[in-house]
Structure 1
């Protein structure tokens, strides 16, 4: 738009009706949001930009499409952009992604987030799990020093499934029998004294040494001190894994023996249960995503919508968790 066109446009603005001014304001706001999203997307892609088809880094610019720079791979000839091969590929409404990331950092429900950014609830649900698919993987690689481990159980849920493997039950229902059974899913959480936390959906039913062997060895040091409650699976696992183990007898009212306690991991369980409660039951197949979401909030490594959008594209904060 040249100078004369701009002057004419300014004069015409005063002739707009109230409704037209609201629509114009929305268009300008969406345009600014679109620009902000495109900037974050392009910046995040530059660090690891490559052809998703052949993984070559030999490419050249090839025009624009949908406000994004396109590239053409020299070896294979395929075209791609900054979103190709990422969880956000083929999604629309880029101008609303930052606003939606803000809803996730505020732990909004699917419907509340949909209302906030003005999308359908199904779109809101799809975006939730696309945003979490990579962001939830930003976890500690190894726990050090003293690590506390404890398990919690949540009711198995097939919410949203078209083909149930058991009779349907009402939301907030109960297990078919008392105590811990295969109607429950075991969530194992291990946390060291620096706050680094790993968690696993270890499967239905009670915790066993086999579940501990399948989860813990890759994420704990050989010289670690594992502290747990009195569950019999932990000492057997520790002996077979060749690591030190101490237990506290919570049933006898012994909550701590000096530095030997599980209060940190129990506090994390409490925060996790309280945070999950407003979702009114989480489908078991999506439970790892919710555990990752809770870790994002608890670790406070991702504090802004821009950081969450970058993490969704695989660009995590520079200070890595070790």
Structure 2
């Protein structure tokens, strides 16, 4: 984003009537202005909102988040009623949010909750900024923190019984497509400029999503994607991709192979791969809602999609799961550190 664009962009709190007296405005203009300002003040009320202290105080600390020492003692509460501790080893003070994505927060956790609900609804970052009267730079930063919190969330995910797997090819941005020295497209197949995403699900509704890298899948890639997630002795329902055979052999699976060209003509109730096909459709819809995202972070987006597709089913329960994980698995990312790097293409929606 250029300096000129930043200068032209109005502040999220701005209205068309700033600087005008009430007597200069119509009743309609006054109510719209006042509602906008009240909502902005609420969203930026800081940590003192009702429920914030209870949320943070619900998480205890048994060690210093900075030096790791268990020698800590209570140090009262801050102005908002949030507990504090002092480390007897390094002498530094901390609270439940220290070292988490909420460390140094300026916006209330309630706003973070609303952001999660919007993301779970396939909302774009630009839409989240508009609907929440947030700065355009806030949703990309929050998304980066969310992906950090969810890192490793699929570890331990298990599929069993009748397991469907398939692959979805998702393209690199046009600028990153492989090219010949003369600038022409690289010959040799459609998959060289696309990420292969392995998708699996079972009859219970559980699913997994794995980035298999650029190009067509292989036996080694299929095994790496699903080997730790499919229970031995399960029935693998799949197409006639040869790369699946190694997974069948290594895990002792029963194989049920189908010709994809034939079954794609069947109605969903008769298609043996209907469940995994639907996940492919939904995943593409989700990724397309974040057009231009940085493909080096594809794994993080797949972790987020895993949360969206797996239990708990209700979006509010999912938001609670993420907030709890954020407090129990501390990760932090400073605003200045995130934006210190050159803005990546996944920040596209900050300027959309």
Structure 2 length as normaliser, TM-score?
0.68
**Alignment partner of 1:224 is 2:240:** no
Distance in 2 separating the partners of 1:207 and 1:25: 49
Question: Match of 1:198, SS?
Answer: strand
From 141, 148, 152, the equivalent of 2:168 is 152
1:93-132 → structure 2 map (5 Å cutoff): 93-94=107-108, 96-132=111-147
2:75 aligned residue: 62
1:227-262 C-alpha deviation (Å, 9 max, x unpaired): 211101112332244333221112244869x99922
Distance in 2 separating the partners of 1:24 and 1:101: 22
1:69-218 → structure 2 map (5 Å cutoff): 69-94=83-108, 96-135=111-150, 137-139=152-154, 141-157=157-173, 176-177=186-187, 179-218=189-228
Q: Which segments of structure 1 move beyond 6 Å, counting only runs of 4 or more?
A: 17-22
Distance in 2 separating the partners of 1:175 and 1:190: 32
Distance in 2 separating the partners of 1:136 and 1:158: 27
Unmatched runs of 5 consecutive residues or more in structure 1: 1-16, 168-173, 316-322
Question: Match of 2:190, SS?
Answer: coil
Distance in 2 separating the partners of 1:40 and 1:131: 22
2:243 aligned residue: 233
Query: Which gives a bigger RCO, structure 1 or 2 (Cα 8 Å, sep 6+)?
Result: 1
Report the number of matched residues.
288
Using the TM superposition, give the Cα deviation of residue 54 of structure 1 relative to its aligned residue in structure 2, in angstroms.
Answer: 4.1
Question: Match of 2:53, SS?
Answer: helix
**Alignment partner of 1:298 is 2:313:** no
Question: Match of 2:244, SS?
Answer: helix
Aligned pair in 2 of structure 1 residues 109, 210: CA closer, same or farther (>3 Å)? same
Aligned pair in 2 of structure 1 residues 73, 237: CA closer, same or farther (>3 Å)? same
2:347 aligned residue: none
Q: Is 1:184–1:205's contact at 8 Å kept on the other side of the alignment?
A: yes
Using the TM superposition, give the Cα deviation of residue 149 of structure 1 relative to its aligned residue in structure 2, in angstroms.
Answer: 0.9
Q: Is 2:150–2:303's contact at 8 Å kept on the other side of the alignment?
A: yes
Please, what is the CA RMSD of the aligned residues? 3.7
Distance in 2 separating the partners of 1:25 and 1:227: 51
Using the TM superposition, give the Cα deviation of residue 155 of structure 1 relative to its aligned residue in structure 2, in angstroms.
Answer: 0.4
